[in-house]
Structure 1
Amino acid sequence: MLASLFGTGSFRVFLKAKNLLQVAIKKSSHIQNSAVANKSGTMAEVKKEMLKRFGLQPGYIREPKSREKLLEFQPKMEDLPARSMQDSFTYAIIPLSTDPVLQDMYINFMGFVRLGRLLEDMDFFAAWCCHQHLKLPNLPEGVPLPYSIVTILVDRIDFTNVQASGTQDIRLSGHVSWVGTSSMEVVVWLEQMVDEEYQKLTRALFLMGARNATNTGAAPVNPIQPANEEEQVILAGGADRKKQRQVLSAQSVFKVEPNAQEESLMYDLYKRTTPRHTLELNKRILPPNCRWMEDSFQMSTILSFPEHRNNHNRVFGGFLMRSALEISWTAAFLFCKSRPKLKHISDVSFVKPISVDSFIRMTAYVVYTKLNCIQIMTVADVLDAHTGNQVTTNVFNYTFSAPDTVSEVLPRSYNETMWYIHGRRKFKASRDLNS
């Protein structure tokens, strides 16, 4: 049970966060229905407008224009007026029904939309919602926005059973749902027209960071003043989700030792994979219908290019999310030997920015399986081609479902056992939140 997983006190916090999150999801859709949305046009127009606001031009420049002079225009917290969630609520369209070139970019061979492409757009759109929230009354007309907006993490993304067509328009909508002193939580929906009615494809929570014009320090953001009771509930949920993230981070298996139940599980794994009635202590056996974790991974090394950069001349977080999802889906497909369905994404962390001339190694590990579900942990490492050093910059966690029951994956080393425990936690948490 999750109570034994987190501890009694932490479990109470988890349940409270879960309940508030579920309420916030329902209430946030009220904003979508009751507020007058700010139509932002197509996603291509959104990207063009964001460049304009940052004072940037299309095209690659090896030495980007310095933004240091914009530091003098960074506001103080007391200069920023409060904003409601309705102020940042906006929507944009991916016009797949009328743009054949765009269709080629988004469609897979079965005629559905590539989810990785949608993740790219959602990341970009979350930043756009932050632009809608920010209001600087003292910024002179014509001066670019003295901010940099970066993705800190993706809290969770849940997928419905609606399969997105590659030839029908998709609508993104969202708003800022919570703010700290320099961070903004953004909720984003994806919908597609099905039988003359928009059907929800997915919903995501992004945590975005406001940085100064040169991306060298934090920048203040407008506080939120809820416009109604619904917004008050959503704001409370955002604050509670922040506390829950802190609890889960502090209790990560990579930081503290496993709990008593998990230690018992580890011993059971050892007994199941060690021969009985033998003194060959170094020998391991694989039980029936099981696979070793060390044989259940896929790896790809990516050379990033300027087309993958964001507005701050670093590798775009959405590109990393797309690349990680595609290799994770491949790993799940090859593991279960049938087309898996993406059910949940959790805790996508962006630890360090990546230069656009980097080599990026993506490794997708099958770390836990249960019945027809597959838990994937994908790690992004930046490789230094000259020294051979590598630094982990991102970790992604995915839950897939297969048409049939899959083989059980088992660890051999202690390191893999920690991955197994980590994957088990992520799987149980995603199942509990969706129950």
Structure 2
Amino acid sequence: MFRSLSRAQKCWSLFSRGAETGYLSGMAMKFSPIAELSLRHYSPPPPTHIKQSAVPNESGTMAQIKQEMMTRLGLEPGYQPLPKSREHLLKYQPKMEELPARAMQDSFTSAIIPLSTDRVLQDKYVTYLGSVRMGRLLEDMDMFACWCCHKHLAVPNLPSDVHLPYTFVTILVDRIDFTNVLASGTADIRLSGHVSWVGTSSMEVVVWLEQMLNGSYKKLTRALFLMAARNATNTAAAPVNPIEPANEEEKVILAGGKDRKRQRQIICAQSIFKVEPNDPEQTLMYELYKRTTPTNTLELNKRILPPNSRWMSDSFQMSTIPSFPEHRNHHNRVFGGFLMRSALEISWAAAFLYCKTRPKLEHISDISFEKPVSVDSFIKMTAYVVYTKLNYVQIMTVADVVDTHTGNQVTTNTFYYTFSAPDTVTEVLPRSYHETMWYIQGRRKFEYSMGLK
């Protein structure tokens, strides 16, 4: 559920680092320097979920939601290389003034992943230790965010026998933090969420993930999805219903969405890949150079590796993944959730092999979808260790689509993950200027996740 958008739209869509985060990981609390480092990050967050005032609105299981969305869109099971035309639905596209305002309560809903009763489903979600595969949950969260968009949309003039003349795509997923709850692969998981802010054709959706443990639901994580509404043929933007807050709680949430919009613009403008590093970062770059260069002036072209460190160029894992129709979304492109799952799983493997011990996922930074991926693509995932701090490892994973005829590669996504290990990890160091930029970017992502910037 993603699509290539203009540069201006991408910049506009970057989420604020100041969005609500979560709770401190139990593993991090074992290390006093890390715990102190994390205090600002895990201060009490502002409300971004209307559990207090929303009425229960259950949507069944995730399998039922998937079927209901297909029914609303007029789609049928089974892969067709040439999808059924939806051009006849374009004439039913409403104008903005025809769409009534909606409250956040209108889109609030929940769904269940029935892991406690569905043994076949368990096999897809459980790890070899009995915990849950977080990548699978990211797939479900992406689909559930799309379902919340369906719930928000109300088209009064649409005839009852006409399918919904809309397509929803994921633009960006905001930073995601994980609690210290160890998710089980055999207990029910509940997703809940609602639309929390809207633009002309975009919607911010907050999604919560909880699991039934000891008779009550415990929070696993929270994420913000930025979704775009497109017309029936996915060729142009489509208007969505505005939000009119139903109470004070919703007013606070809506104001937070406006603040995140402003912060996204600032973050985009300050990207390390667009402007030069700031003064403290340039000082850090010089210090890295001095640490890895011999003091003998006759050996300026030689690099030396300090003790207890590794070169970044030796600290990566790569996998080439063929995509198939089973990975497609509602408009025959590779499902964004599949890309998120694949990237997370290879990043976890890279962190595991680097730390030489099982790491814990602490944080996922902003995920943006730059280009669509067709279902016949080869996707190369490369996970680099780009920054380390105490017992933390920052991973940058790059997804490239490989042209099978020419071998050319086009980057479609970049993901940033923060993992923690039980002990202090080996320091990673860049060897080239190019890698130094990755190091600086990874350091920024880490400091944002810790609340240090």
Q: What TM bracket, shorter-length normalisation? A: over 0.9
SS state at 2:253 partner: helix
- Backbone CA RMSD of aligned residues: 1.8
**What is the number of residues matched between the two proteins?**
420
The corresponding residue for 2:61 is 42
Equivalents in 2 of 1:324, 1:361: separation in Å? Answer: 10
Secondary structure at 2:450's aligned position in 1? helix
The residue aligned with 2:47 is: 27
CA contact (8 A) 2:360 2:420 kept: yes
Aligned to 1:351: 370
Residue identity opposite 1:333 in structure 2: F
Q: How does 1:366-381 map to 2 (within 5 A)?
A: 366-381=385-400
Percent identity over the alignment is 75
1:147 maps to 166
Match of 1:201 in 2: 220
Q: Residues 111 and 14 (structure 1 numbering): CA distance in 2 closer, same or farther, change over 3 Å?
A: closer
Structure 2 unmatched runs, 5+: 1-14, 22-40
Identify if the C-alpha distance between structure 1 residues 299 and 237 changes in structure 2 by more than 3 Å, giving closer, same or farther: same
Q: Is residue 277 of structure 1 aligned with residue 296 of structure 2?
A: yes
Is the 8 Å Cα contact of residues 20 and 45 (structure 2) preserved in structure 1?
no
8 Å Cα contact 1:367/1:409 also seen in 2: yes
Q: Does the Cα contact within 8 Å between 2:17 and 2:175 map onto a contact in 1?
A: no
Structure 2 residue aligned with 1:190: 209
**In the TM superposition, what is the alpha-carbon distance from 1:113 to its structure 2 partner?**
0.6
User: Residue type matched to 1:326 in 2?
Assistant: E
Distance 1:111 1:342 in 2: 16
Could you state the TM-score of these two structures normalised by the residue count of structure 2? 0.90
Q: Deviations over 1:17-50 (max 9, x none)?
A: 679x999954234x21331132100000000000
Match of 1:110 in 2: 129
The residue number in structure 2 matching 1:3 is none
Q: 1:38-91: CA deviations, max 9, x gaps?
A: 210000000000000110011111211011111111111111111111000000
Please give the residue correspondences for 1:364-403 in structure 2 after superposition, counting only pairs within 5 Å: 364-403=383-422
Report what 2:191 is aligned to: 172
Number of the residue aligned with 1:300 = 319
Q: Does residue 315 of the first structure (1) align with residue 301 of the second (2)?
A: no
Residue 234 of structure 1 deviates from its aligned partner by: 0.6
Shift of 1:15: 8.8
User: Once the 2 structures are TM-superposed, how far is the Cα of residue 388 of structure 1 from its aligned partner?
Assistant: 1.4
Deviation at 1:195, TM superposition (A): 1.2
Is contact 1:24-1:237 (8 Å) kept?
no
CA distance 1:307–1:361, change in 2 (3 Å): same
**1:10: which partner in 2?**
none
Partner of 2:174, secondary structure, is strand
Seen in structure 2, the aligned counterparts of structure 1 residues 47 and 17 have a Cα distance that, compared at 3 Å, is closer
Tell me if structure 2 keeps the 8 A contact 1:178–1:235.
yes
Which of 438, 443, 446 lines up with 1:427 in the alignment? 446
Match of 2:434 in 1: 415
* 1:53-68 mapped onto 2 (5 Å cutoff): 53-68=72-87
Return the offset for 1:277: 2.5
- 1:220 partnered with 2:247: no
Note if contact 1:125-1:172 (Cα within 8 Å) is conserved in structure 2. Answer: yes
Aligned pair 1:404/2:423, yes or no?
yes
**Aligned AA (1:380):** A
**Aligned-pair CA distance for 1:14:** 7.1
Letter in 2 for 1:66: S
Tell me the residue number matched to 2:10: none
Match in the other structure for 1:6: none
Q: Which amino acid aligns with 2:114?
A: P
Determine if contact 1:24/1:234 at 8 Å carries over to the other structure: no
Within 2, Cα distance between the matches of 1:57 and 1:96? 26
Q: Separation in 2 of the partners of 1:51 and 1:14?
A: 33
Residue identity matched to 1:250: A
Deviations 1:139-185 (A, max 9, x none): 11121111110000101111001011111100000000011111101
Query: What do residues 86-141 of structure 1 show as CA deviations (whole Å, max 9, x unaligned)?
Result: 00000000000000000001000000110000000000000000100011001111
User: Is contact 1:53-1:145 (8 Å) kept?
Assistant: yes
Residue 222 of structure 1 aligns with an amino acid whose one-letter code is N
The answer to whether the 8 Å contact 2:17/2:448 transfers is no
Aligned residue identity for 2:402: L
CA distance in 2, matches of 1:23, 1:402: 22
Tell me the equivalent position of 1:82.
101
Task: Name the one with the larger helix percent.
Answer: 1
- CA shift at 1:300, angstroms? 0.5
Q: What does the per-residue CA deviation read over 1:270-299, in whole Å, with 9 as the maximum and x for residues that have no partner? A: 000001124111100000111000000111
Do structure 1's residue 337 and structure 2's residue 356 form an aligned pair? yes
Contact 2:397 2:414 in 1 (8 A): yes
Q: Is the CA contact (8 Å cut-off) linking 2:109 and 2:192 kept in structure 1?
A: yes
> 8 Å contact 1:294–1:411 — kept in the other structure?
yes
233-242 or 315-324: bigger deviation: 233-242
User: What residue number does 1:137 align with?
Assistant: 156
Matches of 1:18 and 1:113, distance apart in 2: 24
Counterpart for residue 35 of structure 2: none
Q: Which amino acid aligns with 2:213?
A: V
Measured in 1, the distance between the counterparts of 2:229 and 2:19 equals 25
C-alpha contact 2:17 2:263 (8 A) present in aligned 1 = no
Distance 2:380 2:363 in 1: 23
